[in-house]
Each structure stands twice: as C-alpha cells, then as structure tokens.
Structure 1
Amino acid sequence: MNIKYNYLAEVITKNDFNKMLEYKSGITIVAAPTGTGKSTFIIEDLIKPNFHNENHGFGEGIYQKLGKMKILVMANRTAVVLKFNEDVEKACNDMGIYKANGVTVASYQKVTDSRMMKEIDEADLVICDEAHYFISDAWNGTTERITDKILEASENKPVIFFTATPQLIIKYFSDKGISHKEIDYRNVLGFNDRMDFICTNKDLEQIICSIPKDEKALVFVPNMTSKKNLKKWKEKLCKKGYSVDYYHSFWEKDTHGNFGGKTNDDMQSKVSNLVKKKKFDTQIALANNAIDNGIDLKDPELKHIIMLNHYEQVQIQQMIGRKRFDVTNSDDRLTVWFTTEGDNTLNGFYDDLLKRVKLINRYKEHYSENYEATKVGLRHFPASKSKSNEEFEAWVNSTVFSSFFSEVENNTLLEKMKLTPEQIQNDQYTRLLRNQLGFITPLVCKHVKEKSADAEVSLTIEHSNIVRNYQMLVNELFNRTSKVVWRNKDEAKNELEKEQVERVAVELVSYLKSFDGIQLFDDEKQNFQSKIGHYFGAAKRATRYPNLTTVNDFIRPHGFRINDVRQTINQKKKTVWLVKQT
C-alpha cells in the first residue's frame, strides 16, 4: 500500500485477525507505530467481543457479564497498566456491565508472584503490550523468567505481542529458532510526516531559549540521570525563569537497592495526573525512561521533544511516540531535537558498555573452559548426593562464577561496574548490552580509510562527528531528513565558564572532602581528573585531562592539594593520588 493510514483498525484484515488467534504457528508479533490505536484495537476487537451475548435479541442484552474466555493483558510500565485498567473500566461502562469478569491487566514484573504465574496458565488468550520489554528491559532481572513462561504458554494458547519497535524481539526469536508470525503495519501507518528533526551540539538551555513561550517541550534526559539530578535541573531552569516540572518512576528502592513495593506518593500522583490529563501544565517537562511507554500526550501545544545523548533505537522511537497527533489538525506537528550538548557523554556510555561486554565475554570464556571440570570435581563431594539435579547445577554455576571473581582484578571490575552475579550469568542481560553496544557504536564510530603511498599502505583514522551520525540515525529510524544546527562557540564558552564558576563556589569543597582517605588510581583517578577538569573548569583543553600540577594549582586556593605516590596494587606498580586538606 502507498497510502498512509492513521489507525490499526483501518488496515487490519480478517485474515490477519484469524492469524493472531491461531497459536500452532507460534506467537504473533503485531508491529504498528506509536499512536496508531493498538490499545483501542485490543479493547474494541479483542476484549469487547469476548462479552458479546450470542442470545441477544431473545430478551437479553448485547453483552453478558462473564467473558466467554479468560483474557490476560500484560504491559511493561505502571503507567501502561493504569491506562489499560482505565480503558477496560470505560469499556465495561460502554457495555453496561459492572466489571469485566474474565479480563486481568497486570505488569510483567509481577511474574515473580506465584498468583501471576497461575493467571498465565489459566488464561485462554495472552496479550503482551509493549512487547519489546522482553529484551529492552533485561536489566531488571525478571525478563528471562517471564519470557520462558510466555513461550511455554504459547504452545497451547494464542499469545499476541503488540509493539511499535519489534526489531529486537524478532532478532531474539530468529536467533533462538522460536516459531513466530509477523504482522507488520509500520509502512502503512504512522505520523512521521508530521515530524521535523534537528541534530545539534547545543546544550539544553540554548535549545530551550529558541523555543517560543507558547510552545511546550518534553525533555528526555540521559538514562543514567538520577532522580536527585532531575530535581536539580528543574531548580536550575526555574531560577532562570522557565516553567518546569519533572517526572520519574514512583517506585522507591530499599536499602539494598531493590524495588520492594514502596512508592513515592507525590510522584505517583504526578504520573497519574499525566496519564489522565494527557498533558503537563508547565512549558518544560523533564523525564527519564520511566515514561517512555504508556503516556499518551494529546496536546497541540507540545511542539518539541528533546533527546539528550540518547542512542538506544527502541527507546528513542518509544520516547518520541509519547506525542499523539490530532489527525484533523494538520498544524499539529512536532520538532525532535537530538543533541550531544557538546560533551563526551556518549563516548563515556560507549566506553562503559565496552568494558561490561568485555568482562562478560571473559566470564563466558572462563565458564566454557571450566564448567565440565568443575562438574566432575563436585561429583566427588559427598554433599552432591543429597542435591537434586537443579540444586547441583546451581552449585556448579556458583562455583565457576566464584572461581572467576576470586581473581582480584575481575572482582574489582565487577564492583566498579555495579554488576550483580545474576546479571553476569543472565543471557538476556548479555544480549541487551550487546544490542546497546550495537546501537551506540555507529554514533561514536571512527571511520578508517586506507591510503597508498609508494607501495606502502597507511591507515588514516578519522573521527566522525556524532551530530552528523545522528542525521544518519534519523534517516534509518524515521526515513526522514534532518538539519544540523551548530551552537555558537563563543556563547557556549561564556555560558560554560559562568556555570563552572558557580559550581566551584557551591560544590567544589564538598566534592573534594568526599575523597578524604580514598586512594585514586586507574578509572577513579581518571574520573576525578575529568570532573575537576571539565565540570569545574580546571582543564585548559576540552579533549584532555588536567595533569597533577594543573589540578593542584586549581584546588590549592580552596584549601586542598594532591599527593601522588607509587604503590603496588594487584601486583602492579601504580601512581596513586591522595586528596589532602592543607
């Protein structure tokens, strides 16, 4: 088809519908862009017909109180679950029934609950919305278990995956040889023609300055931005006269860093209002990936989405998809900004990902080389006789893992990268890291060209500009051209210098005090140099770290100095920095 349609209901065929409900050929993946009515289709064409009364016209109503089959709808974000529950409740009102008996809406994360596992077993139809979750959220430690359970369920019942970004789940199924069907409407649906793209190295404030006061902007901050820093960004922009609010997950971590069910009531209220109103009241909204799904913003004043140093293709498409367009208003358009903010954030993400992947690869190699020998060795222990096969397998894996991380260097890397044993041994998480590395590499890549001179071949390495690489990404994801807007170097320099003076006055002393008694070497020393050099302003060049003399000249007026000593650490001689108060 050459015609672009707006909604899934306009293009789906009876054959496609029957294909979804036939389970013997495997899971059905339905791919359609964000904002094209996937949720509406689920309600109107899958849930409502389940309550249709076949005896209607013989003194009974159109709908019956109990569904003909049990339907389980699952989603990846609390916001999506909230929205679906509201949609189901509204559907019940439309049908004139009190409650949709036979329809359950739940989050994937509840799979650790035995009751949830039972729901999957008892359902006659399983609908998985935002199904890219199974790969893209592998960091949370639950995706492998829920994936296995869903695959098991698909052997005897229809399982339908809905997503705007199916590429990772399709690749996973193909790599694993998992039977599935694909129904792809991405080429005939969508609103890409309503979007304009700008790639830039301007920082956030420079972009916001260029936005008219009567236009709103949604800013997606880098994924690693903490809740505390989101609040700081808001306060900083508010001081400069902007109307700003911020949004993040309302789930709180416990003392062990796990999500134990405790919520931030204020943030829960804010997110709930965002879901209901489908708009934010301030001119600027700052958000992290907690609202990359499930929030439909139907606001013609929302004219800008700003992506700060993002590289995950699935997440980018989901974030931009929060904007919902008015199909009757051709002036309802969106400008999408991709910015590097003129710093090395993406290079830092790339380096971190590369280190993680290398460490996991080394562990996998160690595991492959030592698994069989460890298994044979443990069989000789009397304790092995009392263990079940599952318990013995877990013992072998734990022993191989411990032998690898008993080496000081490996254990140090594990702690630095804040990786858990579960993540290291989780194939889904490993796949996620490799996917992320695959996404970010083209943005920070180096182009290598061969040049011949007098029969000798030399290699010339050219660094490609990330802003230009963003242009290629826009074309790949949205089939659209984009324009480049470069920041004014003098203005940017002056703004940065003012910020650095303020940071030194407010933050430098407490930052230096935090290193009391800590030895700085390797990555910690480099991170310290980077912070002092680029964040506080000691570096003479943006591309270099300040040396010891430069750092001492910078911090001495504030009552501190660095002592450097040579020490043997992990059987290697290293230069160690010690921060001292004078």
Structure 2
Amino acid sequence: MANGKQKIWVSDLIGNDFKRWNNEFVILDCGTACGKTYFCIRILGKYAAMRKRRILYLCNRNKLKNQTYKQVRDEKLQATIYVTTYQNLQNKIQRGEHIPHYDYIIADECHYFTTDAGFNDYTDVAYNYVMKQKESVVVFVSATAKSFFKYLRDTNKVRKKNSYRLDKDYSYVSKLFYYQSDELPGIIDDILANESDSKIIVFCNSGDRILEMSKIYGDNANYFCSRNAQKRLRDLCGWQVDANGKIIAEPSCIKNYSDDLITFDKRILFTTSVLDNGVDLKDRKIKHIFTEIVDVDTMIQSLGRKRSLAKDDTCYFYIRLYQKKGLQGFINRINYHLEPVELYKTDYEAFYKKYGDGKQRDRLNKNKIFYNLFKKKNIYGQIKVNECKFRKYSQDYDMFTSMKELGHKGYLEDILEESLTNNAEEVVCNVEEMDKFLLFLNSIEGKRLYEDDKLFIKEEFETIGLKLRYKGINTFNGALEDNYKNLYKCRFYDKDTNGKSYVDKRRVLDNGLPNPNRDKRYWILEDRTDIKKSS
C-alpha cells in the first residue's frame, strides 16, 4: 500500500499479454521497485524455459549483471537466460564473433543507449544489433528513459498496445528540497549536528566535486567512483592497480550484510553516477539523498538508489539547482560537438569547406559524435556519425535550452512526478517582511542566544519565506548570506575570535538573580568583517 492505494506490480500490469508477444518491440516504462526484474526472470524466464526458448538479458553495468545473474541462478534458469552487458555484446560484434539467435532480448536499463552515449563511443553498436532483431521479442526496460521511449513511440518502432507504464512510487520521500552548490557543506554539517546516526548520499556531477568534498570531510566519509576516473580520485576511492595497470582491488565501501542491509559504514557517501544502478542500497539510516547530476534521466536514477524496506522507511531528496550561466556553459560544450554534425547532415559541401579542408579541420579531432576523420584530400572519404551519440547530444541541447528558458527548477517541475514536486520546499522571500526581519536581527545583535532562542530565530526566518529544515548555525548563516550578502554583515558565531566556544560562566545576572543558563553554550550575532580583513 502507498498513499492508501493498492500497489500495482509489472506482472499485474502485463497479465498474460506476454504469451501473445510475437517478434515485436515492447516498452516497460516503470519505476524502481515495482517488479520489472521479477517479471523478466520469474515470469517471462520460466515461460521461456517451459517452451524451450532462450533469452538474452542485457545490462548496462557489471554490478547489475552480477546481481541479475544471481537471481537467474537462484531460479535455476542459466540454460534459458544468458546475462551479459551491452559493452560485452559490443566487443563481440566488433571482433566479428557469432551471436546466436535469442527468442527474447531484455534491454534492461535501456537508457544506456542515450545516457552512456555521452562518453561511450560504441553504444550504437549494441543499439543497431538490438534494433535489427526482427525475429525476436525485444523488451526495453527502464525507469528513466522518457526521451528514448518517446523516440520509439514517435517512430512507430513500438506499438501503443506494447507500451506499459507504471508511475514511480515516491511515497517514501518525506520532502524534496532544492539547494545551491555552495550550500551543500552547510546542509550536511547541520544534518550531522542535529541527527545522531542518519546517513547521507551525495551523487556528484564530477570527480572534481568529490575531491573538493574530500578536503572538507576526509576520513569521515566514503567515496566511490568508476575505474576510469582520474588516478587521484581512484586512489581516494580505494581502487588499486599493479605495476602493469591491472586492477587488483576495487572500492569496498558498499557492504552487503544481508538481503535487507546493503549500505556503507560511514555517515556520508560521495559518489559519481557510476552508482546509478546495479546497487540497491537498503538501510533505514539512509535518510538524505543529494543529487548534483544535471542529466535528468541519470538524476532520477540516482534518487532511486535507496530501496524502502517499509512504509516508515522514508528519506529526504535534495536536488542542486544550476543557474543560467552554468546552463549556458553546458549548451556551449554540447553545441561545439553538435554543430559540425548537423552541418554534415544538411550541407556536406559547406561542411567540407569549413571542416574538411579549412582552418577548423582540427576541431573534428575532438568531436565526440563522429566515428573518425576522412582523409584530408579525399572529399568523399569515410566518415560516420554515431547516431546514438547524435540523438543524445541533440536531446541534451534541447534539455539545457529548456532549462535555461524555464529556469532549472521550473524545468524539473515539468519533468518530475507531481507526487515529488507537490511536496517540494519552496523558498520565496517577501521584501517587505525582509525589512521587518532586519529590525529583528538588529534587536538581538550582541546578545547571548541559547538553545531555546534558536527555535524562535528559525520562526522569524519563516516570516520572510525561508522554511529552514534545521536551526543550526550553518543553516542560519547560509540563509543570511543567500538573502542579504553585503546588505547585512552580522553573522552568528558560537566561538570567540580565538576559537574558544562560548559558554556562559556567570553565576548571577546583572539584576542579582541566579543565572538559569550557567554553563550553557550560546551564540552571538555580530559583525566580524573588520577582524577578518585585518587577519
């Protein structure tokens, strides 16, 4: 049950339709934890075994392949279902190896064809193979392949009756928050200070971001990346190689303690999108999931890595927002690769004049969509476009352009499920109330502020539309920085200028009465800009 509604599984949605599938394409556009793998292995797999038919099960990551193979082995279906990766299939095809016929092909996490096309030159090899299998039932499976599924439908590669959809169940998400890049450490610190044992996952958009966070959190966090990351990041994450560069040890931060406890031991895990699937984290202590991944499909995958164990196993989502300047940077980088390809497709003579024999010829050496260059003096030389890459770059260009026009948050509100966006924390400041709030701040400057005062201060922040989740010092100061910057220079401090914590040691108050706050910690709101300048 979720939100009072009976949960629908993939096997319920499909019913007995699968018995009538006959050499056609099928879409399973269904969220995480709704029984996609169960249907493919236990329902379709057993049906195929009974009829002596074979299934090729394609996965986009080795971890997912290993996880899937274990389930196949548990059901004793190894003779029926062959589990491999898209990458392995591509290698076999490129080596000219014979690929046997399969009656069914499960293209699991099929967003691979577009998502991985951004960095994998050969996604179209597997894609072309799958699309040419006219004597097989091909089942495209994903929770986050909206653009790819739209392409399959729009080009009539999948008939409407063969497109199955289940909305993602976000009933386990208590709240969605949006945040800015520089706010991340403050939010994390507040969680660590205010919650005793809850865990945090941060999906970073780059390896450099993980390295940046490692300077702050050091050994207090776990780190995870792919084997193809830069050496400094691999070393941080625990990859080890021998003298010949062969991998001899992988990161061991993800621990599989039991079927209901797959987790990391430290309170924070910083990871790239390599953890986007194949790893189902199960741990009630995982309460906060941050994603800084800008690609929407991959972002949604990252948010789904925690598997809820029960109705009360909830968590909070946090999505980093990108500003227009950053989004324009993405657009410029994409267009650098896209523009020559579009010219090649529409006007070859103009393309050759500009890139084939012109000053910008070297630009093609860096192009990530073309397969290879033609010979310099042969205008009709060989050049091939990776259509998967071209589709991915085109989709990304449209996505970032829309993000810039609508704003990142506005775009996400159009794309994400309403059950998520309707439960998002809005941050809207009222200018008139901000002026009143300044008067409040002026009234507490220089005064000792104890634990009981923090709730009152938090409530005052709400008068200007800032519904802060915590009442920690980093949260308050971050809110002041975001909304006032140089307009108001005072900040909250819990230590003096020598780094000594503020503790009230007064036995009696100025009025002669006993001090009820003796030995209690406190804050001071004051302006230290002159002190910082002189230091």
Instruction: Give, as a single letter, the amino acid of the residue that structure 1 aligns with 2:148.
Output: I
Cα displacement (A) at 1:287: 0.9
Cα displacement (A) at 1:274: 9.2
1:173 aligns with 2:140: no
Q: 1:250, 1:263 within 8 Å by CA — same for their partners in 2? A: no
CA distance in 2, matches of 1:444, 1:150: 35
CA distance in 2, matches of 1:148, 1:115: 11
CA distance in 2, matches of 1:135, 1:480: 29
1:238 aligns with 2:218: yes
**Equivalent position SS for 1:219:** strand
Decide whether aligned partners of structure 1 residues 350 and 50 sit closer, same or farther in structure 2, where only a CA change above 3 A counts: same
> When the two structures are aligned, how many residues end up with a matched partner?
406
Residue correspondence of structure 1 range 414-493 to structure 2 within 5 A = 415=366, 419=368, 421-422=370-371, 425-445=385-405, 466=408, 470-471=412-413, 473-474=415-416, 478=420, 480-484=422-426, 488=478, 490=480
| 1:143 paired residue number | 123
Match of 1:321 among 295, 304, 326: 304
Decide whether aligned partners of structure 1 residues 9 and 363 sit closer, same or farther in structure 2, where only a CA change above 3 A counts: closer
Structure 2, gaps ≥5 residues long = 232-243, 373-383, 428-465, 467-474, 490-535
CA distance in 1, matches of 2:229, 2:245: 5
Cα displacement (A) at 1:283: 0.8
CA distance in 1, matches of 2:138, 2:255: 29
Cα displacement (A) at 1:149: 0.7
Q: 2:255, 2:264 within 8 Å by CA — same for their partners in 1? A: no
Q: 2:173, 2:317 within 8 Å by CA — same for their partners in 1? A: no
CA distance in 2, matches of 1:77, 1:301: 26
Report the identity percentage: 21
Cα displacement (A) at 1:225: 2.8
1:250 aligns with 2:201: no
1:331 aligns with 2:312: yes
Match of 2:343 among 365, 377, 380: 365
Decide whether aligned partners of structure 1 residues 442 and 149 sit closer, same or farther in structure 2, where only a CA change above 3 A counts: same
Match of 1:302 among 274, 280, 286: 286
CA distance in 1, matches of 2:402, 2:354: 36
Q: Deviations over 1:470-529 (max 9, x none)?
A: 5555456845331135663555779xxxxxxxxxxxxxxxxxxxxxxxxxxxxxxxxxxx
Structure 1, gaps ≥5 residues long = 53-66, 93-98, 255-260, 374-399, 447-463, 495-582
CA distance in 2, matches of 1:12, 1:263: 46
Q: 1:79, 1:294 within 8 Å by CA — same for their partners in 2? A: yes
Instruction: Give, as a single letter, the amino acid of the residue that structure 1 aligns with 2:218.
Output: C
Decide whether aligned partners of structure 1 residues 491 and 351 sit closer, same or farther in structure 2, where only a CA change above 3 A counts: closer
Cα displacement (A) at 1:348: 2.9
| 2:29 paired residue number | 31
CA distance in 2, matches of 1:235, 1:133: 32
Q: Deviations over 1:13-69 (max 9, x none)?
A: 4343335x322xx310111101212112222112234445xxxxxxxxxxxxxx822
Q: Deviations over 1:441-473 (max 9, x none)?
A: 343326xxxxxxxxxxxxxxxxx5x45665555
Residue correspondence of structure 1 range 535-554 to structure 2 within 5 A = none
Q: Deviations over 1:378-409 (max 9, x none)?
A: xxxxxxxxxxxxxxxxxxxxxx7696154334
Instruction: Give, as a single letter, the amino acid of the residue that structure 2 aligns with 1:333.
Output: T
**Equivalent position SS for 1:100:** coil
**Equivalent position SS for 2:250:** helix
Q: Deviations over 1:234-287 (max 9, x none)?
A: 342137xxx310111135789xxxxxx976443354468599852111111111
Cα displacement (A) at 1:292: 0.7
Q: 1:79, 1:291 within 8 Å by CA — same for their partners in 2? A: no
Residue correspondence of structure 1 range 36-47 to structure 2 within 5 A = 36-47=34-45
CA distance in 2, matches of 1:410, 1:275: 56
Instruction: Give, as a single letter, the amino acid of the residue that structure 2 aligns with 1:404.
Output: Y
Q: 1:198, 1:483 within 8 Å by CA — same for their partners in 2? A: yes
Cα displacement (A) at 1:185: 3.3
Q: Deviations over 1:314-365 (max 9, x none)?
A: 1121111111112xx322112101123xx75x63353233343265334432
| 2:207 paired residue number | 225
Cα displacement (A) at 1:71: 1.5
Q: Deviations over 1:206-257 (max 9, x none)?
A: 11122223111110101x335xx52452342137xxx310111135789xxx
Cα displacement (A) at 1:10: 5.8
Instruction: Give, as a single letter, the amino acid of the residue that structure 2 aligns with 1:483.
Output: E
Instruction: Give, as a single letter, the amino acid of the residue that structure 2 aligns with 1:288.
Output: T
* TM-score of the superposed pair, with normalisation by structure 2: 0.66
CA distance in 2, matches of 1:49, 1:353: 47
Q: 1:5, 1:11 within 8 Å by CA — same for their partners in 2? A: no
* TM-score of the superposed pair, with normalisation by structure 1: 0.61
CA distance in 1, matches of 2:87, 2:101: 18
Decide whether aligned partners of structure 1 residues 221 and 331 sit closer, same or farther in structure 2, where only a CA change above 3 A counts: same
CA distance in 1, matches of 2:353, 2:247: 37
Match of 1:112 among 90, 110, 116: 90
Match of 1:86 among 70, 76, 80: 70
Q: 1:220, 1:307 within 8 Å by CA — same for their partners in 2? A: yes
1:160 aligns with 2:139: yes
Decide whether aligned partners of structure 1 residues 136 and 263 sit closer, same or farther in structure 2, where only a CA change above 3 A counts: farther
CA distance in 1, matches of 2:8, 2:100: 32
**Equivalent position SS for 1:422:** coil
Decide whether aligned partners of structure 1 residues 136 and 69 sit closer, same or farther in structure 2, where only a CA change above 3 A counts: same
**Equivalent position SS for 1:28:** strand
1:12 aligns with 2:9: no
